[in-house]
Amino acid sequence: MTEAGLRRKLDKAFLLQAVLISVVAALSVYAAGFVLEEVLVKQALRKEADYFWRHYDRQKQFPKPDTLNLTGYLGALDTGDGIPAELRDLGPGFHGQSSAMDYSVVYVTDHANQRLVLVFDGVSVNELALYFGLVPLTVVLAMLYVGAWVAYRQSRRAVSPIIKLAKAVHELDLEHPDAAAFDAGAFKDDPNEEVSSLAAALHRFAQRINEFVDRERAFTRDASHELRSPLTVIKIAANMLLSEQELSPPARKSVERIKRSATDMEDLVGAFLLLAREAEQGLSRELVCVNDLVAEEIERASPLLDGKPIDVQSTADVTLVMDTSEKVLSVLIGNLIRNAFSYTDEGRVTVHIGDGYVRIEDSGIGIPRQEVEKVFKPFHQGHSQRRGGFGVGLTIVRRLSERFNWPVNIESQPEIGTRVTVQFPGAQSEPLAQTA
């Protein structure tokens, strides 16, 4: 695409140059002919006529003009004797004549009952235009075209390395960048020093991308094991403590909080590792029923209610099915549901599934208008008095929504509640009766 575009522009530029040269050449030929006929020839005929009449007044036998290019005829004004028949009816002034005689310019003047007809040979006019106009112009045009062709070839040669670099950049695979494609050695014979410098810079850039990709893969691999392993140990230990009968109610409550925090951290680590991936090649895609996933996330987040007088409802107009990663979808919806549970002390939390969207509405403390956009910023906590959050839940939601093209809209009023709507373009909506 880049190669064709750059070369096409170059071809168009030189073609336009050739057309302009041709147009200017044609106008120049026309202008030369006009100047030759309208200025030089006609002016010469006027002077010849004036010259003849001045001498004719002094000497009636003064010879009529008769040269290689100019022929004069003198005759009586009333009879036209001495003037060829095809010229007798011409009035005073200039006339363009085209006939078997190939007259080009005829000039007629009257003086003392005599008429002088001067005929400038058309063949001579054409020869003059050819020798003094067209031939030099042809030589100049040939030189211009040859120069333009040489410049075109040099330009094509100059842009070829740039086209090669652009093609290599276009085909660069960021997952497996090939630094050899920008090896400066391939351009060492090119006289353009800037191209060699650009190739060397791109070569270093590709090498750094390779290093970054290797470090990212090593981090995600190590983090997946090193971070999740201790969280798993914490959860197992918490389950063992909860199985103890002698555990006091305050201690049991603390252990449950530890287990819940460990689960939240595990989900948070999974979300971070997911966002750390540049591509989606490692994500498994499958048909996911959003209705079932919402029910699971409500169940998982239910410990956050902690006995609060909150009525949780899950309603649906349709069965929403998506071809996506179940893990990604659960991270996004789970964060929104946990956020609604955490910031609602009493009242209701409603999760509604509609045609292509999921809406989560609560009667919690709400968000001031000036802070609605800030809640998507990392580590922003609009209500610092709330404990247990990390300030990154909605940041993860925004990043996932942008990455997977799931628009998120937040409407909120303080002390009234918050409504979050997530759109899912491309999701399939089926009637609820089909779920039976």
For the cut 60, the answer to whether the pLDDT of residue 190 exceeds it is: no
Q: What is the pLDDT of residue 127?
A: 64
* pLDDT class of 384 with cuts at 50, 70, 90: very low
Long-range contacts of 123-131 (CB under 8 A, 24+ apart): 124/68, 124/69, 125/36, 125/37, 125/41, 128/36, 129/32, 129/33, 129/36
- The secondary structure of the chain, three-state, reads CHHHHHHHHHHHHHHHHHHHHHHHHHHHHHHHHHHHHHHHHHHHHHHHHHHHHHHHHHCCCCCCCECCCEEEEEEECCCCCCCCHHHCCCCCEEEECCCCCCEEEEEEEEECCEEEEEEEEHHHHHHHHHHHHHHHHHHHHHHHHHHHHHHHHHHHHHHHHHHHHHHHHHCCCCCCCCHHHHCHHHHCCCCCHHHHHHHHHHHHHHHHHHHHHHHHHHHHHHHHHHCHHHHHHHHHHHHHHHCCCCCCHHHHHHHHHHHHHHHHHHHHHHHHHHHHCCCCCCCCCEEEEHHHHHHHHHHHHHHHCCCCCEEEEEEECCEEEEEECHHHHHHHHHHHHHHHHHCCCCEEEEEEEECCEEEEEECCCCCCHHHCCHHHCCCCCCCCCCCCCCCCHHHHHHHHHHHCCCCEEEEEECCCEEEEEEECCCCEEECHHHHC
Domain 2-140: give its CATH architecture: 2-Layer Sandwich (3.30)
Q: Where is average pLDDT lowest: 180-184, 417-421, 426-430? A: 180-184
Q: Where is average pLDDT lowest: 21-30, 105-114, 300-309? A: 21-30
Bigger pLDDT: 130 vs 110: 110
Q: Where is average pLDDT lowest: 6-10, 83-87, 337-341, 376-380? A: 376-380
Bigger pLDDT: 34 vs 330: 330
Percent of the chain with pLDDT over 70: 73
Model pLDDT for residues 251-273, shown as the tens digit of each residue: 888 888 888 778 777 776 776 67
Q: What is the pLDDT of residue 2?
A: 45
Is this structure's pTM higher than 0.95? no
Q: What is the pLDDT of residue 176?
A: 65
* Homologous superfamily of domain range 284-435: Histidine kinase-like ATPase, C-terminal domain (3.30.565.10)
For the cut 90, the answer to whether the pLDDT of residue 422 exceeds it is: yes
Among the listed residues 406, 246, 419, the one whose alpha carbon sits nearest the alpha carbon of residue 324: 406
Mean pLDDT of 339-358: 92
Exposure string over 158-197, b if 16+ CB within 10 A, otherwise e: ebbbbbbbbebeeebeeeebebebbbbebbeebeeeebbe
Tally the C-alpha atoms within 13 A of residue 168's C-alpha that lie toward its C-beta.
21
Mean pLDDT of 32-57: 81
* pLDDT class of 183 with cuts at 50, 70, 90: low
Mean per-residue pLDDT of the chain: 78
Q: What is the pLDDT of residue 390?
A: 42
Query: In this structure, are residues 229 and 201 in contact, taking their beta carbons and an 8 Å threshold?
Result: no
Mean pLDDT of 212-230: 73
In the numeric block, the tokens 């290689």 are attached to 68
For the cut 60, the answer to whether the pLDDT of residue 107 exceeds it is: yes
Mean pLDDT of 104-120: 88
For the cut 50, the answer to whether the pLDDT of residue 385 exceeds it is: no
Q: What is the pLDDT of residue 14?
A: 75
Mean pLDDT of 406-426: 91
Percent of the chain with pLDDT over 90: 20
For the cut 80, the answer to whether the pLDDT of residue 333 exceeds it is: yes
Residues of the chain with CATH 3.30.565.10: 284-435
For the cut 90, the answer to whether the pLDDT of residue 7 exceeds it is: no
